Structure 1
Amino acid sequence: MNATPVAERMPALYLSHGAPPLADDPLWPGQLAAWSADLPRPTAILMVSAHWEEAPLALGATGAAPLVYDFWGFPEHYYQVTYAAPGAPQLADSVRKLLRRAGTPVQDIPDRGLDHGAYVPLVEMFPAADIPVLQISMPTLDPQRLLEIGRRLAPLRDEGVLIVGSGFFTHNLAALRHEGTPGWSAEFDDWGRRALAAADVDALLDFENKAPAGRLAHPRTEHFAPLFVTLGASQGALESGRSVIDGFWMGLAKRSVQFG
């Protein structure tokens, strides 16, 4: 009798997703592609993007749905990008069970496709679009609550699910007024690098007060918030965290990390 294949335990990722022009960058797409090539093949991908806040926590489309082009003023070809990954109804069932068991309300929004925080990096990392993808919303920006949601989702890693928090390690577009990397962006990135290396979750949770230029690097915290879902999902693997991509793009820190 053949044994049922056992899915390989997946790491959990936080990545800086970039804007649609990421595809034209001479370096970054190759970095994302090399990263995915080093990962085990996921059975499915669970995306948590900075660009979807919805309460109660919502599950996106589990079947065919158009992408969400949630940006304005870009050249037309960025609105022609497609990413027809299969839906993930089985993963959606698992997410419902895990979260409802913990008392977290869950709703379905079946016509909500992937937004650019999800599909922009996926196009570079998994261009064949042949892995089922489910996007869920952030029902809050409270770091502690997001950490707990990540902890509830952690068992999915043992089913071969790649959990990805997609944000931007620094994000203040209004403060990008000069060429080069602003001091606030570099200072926050260096602090975050050290906090992650030390697995100092308490400091990261209180980043607005503990980090230099914390409130300037993230005047609104939605692009840092997905990190806490990733940290929660990284149970038992926080000490293994490593930065896979670093550096800056248009002055913003594109630091992206892997746990496990």
Structure 2
Amino acid sequence: MAVTERMPALYLSHGAPPLADDPVWPGELAAWSARLPRPKAILMVSAHWEEAPLALGATRTVPLVYDFWGFPGHYYRVRYGAPGAPALAESVRKLLRAPGMPVQDIPDRGLDHGAYVPLVEMFPDADVPVLQISLPTLDPRRLMEIGRKLAPLRDEGVLIVGSGFFTHNLAALRHPGVPGWSADFDAWGGEALAAADVDALLDFEHKAPAGKLAHPRTEHFAPLFVTLGAAESAGELGRGRSVIDGFWMGLAKRSVQFG
């Protein structure tokens, strides 16, 4: 397949396994993917895999990682047999390996729900090779640097996807409606992205309203910075757009595209 254009870089809110049963969200994800150029491969960075040094997951089709508990049984029967991406893994190794930035392989590590839940909706035929890499740190600046190093992959037909949740405090699940802290953080974050205010985003824990309520732990916001790094290298920080917004069980599902 000839690749004729640079692939976008995405940050998406991935929801949880019940996303599949939502009356709206699966259609939003499917419509989004239908507007994207077809990727040669997908590189996923999920909030649900923290591993240092940075790790590359399976480069062949292996079982999924059902990294959740207490859900109905049918969520554990979901399958997503996307091909592995060994050539992409080798490219990632070459781009990232440097003094102070080792790369490891965990060849039996399958896709977790932060990766496969949205992919089932966006690429349901599971015919695009997928590689998942770990979050080696939660430091936004270091993650942006990783995104910058990975940016050349976009010109090789690779869709870079940071997968998290724009607000992620599960206390929201205990109450009906949208908590004020979730709405306030989402509005602030949407404005910061539209203004390409990377400095504010990097310091979101202190500069955002209710930053520490929206993200008591920051792993679900962290993948955004890999995406921002990949966008910055292409001069696209001022051209990002929110493709999906709104709330799901009180949490902001804002998802953005650069390029």
What's the TM-score bracket when you normalise by the shorter of the two chains?
Answer: over 0.9
Partner of 1:68: 65
Query: Over residues 96-133 of structure 1, what are the superposed CA-to-partner deviations in whole Å (9 max), with x where a residue is unaligned?
Result: 00001475210000000000000000000000000000
Give, in angstroms, the shift of residue 64 of structure 1: 1.9
Contact kept in structure 2, 1:36 and 1:126, CA below 8 Å: yes
Give, in angstroms, the shift of residue 6 of structure 1: 3.9
> What is the rounded CA distance, in whole Å, between the counterparts of 1:177 and 1:74 in structure 2?
16
Contact kept in structure 2, 1:48 and 1:226, CA below 8 Å: yes
Give the TM-score normalised by structure 2. 0.97
* 2:40 equivalent to 1:43: yes
Give, in angstroms, the shift of residue 239 of structure 1: 1.1
Amino acid at match of 1:158: D
Q: Structure 1 residues 30 and 102, CA, compared in 2 at 3 Å: closer, same or farther?
A: farther
Amino acid at match of 2:256: V
Q: Which moved more, 1:17-26 or 1:229-238?
A: 229-238
Partner of 1:137: 134
Query: Over residues 221-259 of structure 1, what are the superposed CA-to-partner deviations in whole Å (9 max), with x where a residue is unaligned?
Result: 000000000000112111110000000000000000000
Partner of 2:195: 198
> What is the rounded CA distance, in whole Å, between the counterparts of 1:101 and 1:7 in structure 2?
30
Partner of 2:119: 122
| Residue from 58, 76, 80 that aligns with 2:77 | 80
Q: Secondary structure at the match of 1:49?
A: strand
> What is the rounded CA distance, in whole Å, between the counterparts of 2:92 and 2:14 in structure 1?
23
Partner of 1:219: 216
| Residue from 101, 104, 108 that aligns with 1:107 | 104
Give, in angstroms, the shift of residue 157 of structure 1: 0.3
Q: Structure 1 residues 88 and 7, CA, compared in 2 at 3 Å: closer, same or farther?
A: farther
Partner of 1:230: 227
Q: Secondary structure at the match of 1:65?
A: coil
Q: Structure 1 residues 177 and 211, CA, compared in 2 at 3 Å: closer, same or farther?
A: same
5+ residue gaps, structure 2, are none
> What is the rounded CA distance, in whole Å, between the counterparts of 2:11 and 2:172 in structure 1?
23
Aligned-CA RMSD value: 1.1
| Residue from 163, 181, 186 that aligns with 2:183 | 186
State the identity as a percent: 85
> What is the rounded CA distance, in whole Å, between the counterparts of 1:118 and 1:6 in structure 2?
24
Give the TM-score normalised by structure 1. 0.97
Give, in angstroms, the shift of residue 176 of structure 1: 3.7
Contact kept in structure 2, 1:7 and 1:43, CA below 8 Å: no
> What is the rounded CA distance, in whole Å, between the counterparts of 1:166 and 1:176 in structure 2?
20
> What is the rounded CA distance, in whole Å, between the counterparts of 1:176 and 1:166 in structure 2?
20
Amino acid at match of 1:120: V
Give, in angstroms, the shift of residue 177 of structure 1: 3.0
Q: Secondary structure at the match of 1:153?
A: helix
Partner of 1:155: 152
Number of residue pairs matched? 257
Give, in angstroms, the shift of residue 209 of structure 1: 0.3
Amino acid at match of 1:178: H
Q: Secondary structure at the match of 1:96?
A: helix
Partner of 2:9: 12
